[in-house]
Structure 1
């Protein structure tokens, strides 16, 4: 028999973050703790506003409804249908039933802050992630070359979040050294336009938002180099593993990526990356956006909240 507890957290961001037009000052979610035979498993259920299809309220309602069955059967209930709920429960079960020490894949850095701060952060990195389509194309091209002047050997993983028009994407792609770019995540909102950019400019294209669609099923698309999968938006570990295996059979690179989870969720994604995509560093360098850690201290000089400091939800 498994015992379970569900707690709710709210952790402030150091600075407000815009998620597709919704500005958030804090990250909210749920921590699921399962215990059995002296072992503990943790899972994070944290829908990302404007990205997840479900709200946190709906996720909490469903998690509470399925926990009695989960405790009785020790398996992921069929009634857990929301992606964030399935991810959190499957992570907790995975840790509970396979409690061996796990390696966590080291992430590549996500550049944030001023241009000076980004240049300093990129100085010793082999691969960096940079959000683009946030300011005029000319400024972003200049930043690319400034980063390369500081670190000529670094490689880029660029993320436009579908924000460019086709013309803006063309201007950017034509102006940067594509041989230093691993991939660019969905420059425009049109898959057709993105594939034209592959044909006309040699764009190394990665799909991100496309994989988050409710009816997404993997299919090979000529010209797609990589998939960026956010487990919180995908669902349970078995579904994630199936997508990874299908893509890799076609030679498509897969990177696991965060949805601004706490250290609990990011650690789980890092562990999954070490097992499912061991040759690809995960995109989970988002923890420093949060002012506090949860349960297990992750960062020196950063407050860490215990389970007792969170809001109990169940039982």
Structure 2
């Protein structure tokens, strides 16, 4: 569906939300919200992404705001806690923001940190969640193949559920998967899905056991669902540090997938210091609800981006909208 640019701009609100904890190198999260015919929707590609990549995120925003959603198969989604690359001493405080979560995704391979820092963080999480908790680590493609193999060996005694995007390329993922297969630790692909020209290439190459699926980067709920169906691999639905509006998009995607074996990365509103709704999609008993979010006008005003940032984002909306028109 094509929505005129004037319709998008008529309700566009640009917000700048403080982070409760520094994450992905940022202290504030910016986003554009639109009120569509079906409800509020979100456009929030990270600022470093070019217009071509960001245009897919705009397609997702239009899809969620103006199109019908697929039927829900479940009313709640189990979510994981997300642990930034913090010192081990900060782990307990962050886990407290994710009540009831039985799974923790731990960021590793942070630039400027050592494997010893990652290992201490993983060990502290295991200590706090006990032997029955689930641990997954996410390197965001930050290791070489040799570094990945070394790190996976270092973490193995902490009983990993899987390792997400240990290396940047599909060939590297395949090599790591071959090297650690005897250990029984699955490899998950994220960037090799959402940033790829062909999001199914990693599955066809046999380079991953699990796919991490995100609604915004893949163009919306319907397109993400088609990728899940065609890939034929288990999936984890995750977010990109969205507001609760974007998390609602992800929750509806997760709710529509026939088989969902893993806890999803949709609890990240807990990492925000503020949100755009009085009823944010925060984890409760390890789950979030599958629902549309009612946006608060007062919070939109309170966390409105300044004039320069608003102009920057609205210009970005216009450019990416033109790209969508060209490819329609």
TM normalised by structure 1 equals: 0.74
The answer as to whether partners of 1:105 and 1:278 remain within 8 angstroms in 2 is: no
Deviation at 1:290, TM superposition (A): 2.5
The answer as to whether partners of 2:15 and 2:300 remain within 8 angstroms in 1 is: no
Please state which structure has a larger fraction of its residues in strand.
1
The answer as to whether partners of 2:17 and 2:275 remain within 8 angstroms in 1 is: no
Q: Where does the alignment leave 5 or more consecutive residues of structure 2 unmatched?
A: 283-294, 305-309, 318-328
Q: What is residue 43 of structure 1 aligned with on the other side?
A: 41
Deviations 1:16-67 (A, max 9, x none): 7464xxx5442222212124xxxx42211111223x4328xx96xxxxxxxx
The answer as to whether partners of 2:91 and 2:121 remain within 8 angstroms in 1 is: no
Q: What is residue 220 of structure 1 aligned with on the other side?
A: 204
1:90 aligns with 2:72: no
Any idea what SS the aligned residue of 2:262 has? coil
Counterpart-to-counterpart distance in 1, 2:187 and 2:118: 18
Q: 1:238 aligns with which of 222, 226, 242?
A: 222
The answer as to whether partners of 1:104 and 1:271 remain within 8 angstroms in 2 is: no
Counterpart-to-counterpart distance in 2, 1:27 and 1:147: 26
1:154 aligns with 2:144: no
Q: What is residue 128 of structure 1 aligned with on the other side?
A: 104
Deviations 1:147-187 (A, max 9, x none): 32331121112100111223322221112227822221121
- Superposition RMSD on alpha carbons, in Å? 3.5
Q: What is residue 6 of structure 1 aligned with on the other side?
A: 11
Any idea what SS the aligned residue of 1:128 has? strand
Q: 1:53 aligns with which of 45, 50, 54?
A: 50
Give the number of the structure with larger relative contact order, counting CA–CA contacts within 8 Å between residues 6 or more apart. Answer: 2
Deviation at 1:291, TM superposition (A): 2.8
TM normalised by structure 2 equals: 0.71
Q: What is residue 251 of structure 2 aligned with on the other side?
A: 270
Counterpart-to-counterpart distance in 2, 1:166 and 1:244: 27
Counterpart-to-counterpart distance in 1, 2:150 and 2:261: 32
Q: What is residue 33 of structure 2 aligned with on the other side?
A: 31
Q: Where does the alignment leave 5 or more consecutive residues of structure 1 unmatched?
A: 60-81
Question: Structure 1's 102 and 183: CA in aligned 2 closer, same or farther, altered over 3 A?
Answer: closer
